[in-house]
Amino acid sequence: MTDYKIRTTRIMVHPATDDTILSEMATTVSIDDEGGGEYVKAEQTNTGAILINPDEWPAIREAIDRMVSECRSEQL
């Protein structure tokens, strides 16, 4: 039997009043890999920039720190 592991690779941060993942205020923090090793990416819908409201920074920072700690080293 094959063993499986559950791994979180994406976290969404959005205002508590927004009930949809399509919120313009949502920031997605994820682990990505394009073949050169894992890295953390933060992105927002419909924008080429990350616009961070000071009130949301603690939650975004927590999500980024969590994803960085989950990145696998290139030795794996």
pLDDT at 22: 79
pLDDT in tens, 26-69: 888 888 888 888 888 888 877 766 767 788 889 999 999 998 99
CB 25 within 8 A of CB 60: no
The Cα 20–Cα 11 span in angstroms is: 14
Output the pTM of the full model: 0.70
| 76 band by pLDDT with thresholds 50, 70 and 90 | very low
pLDDT at 52: 76
pLDDT at 2: 95
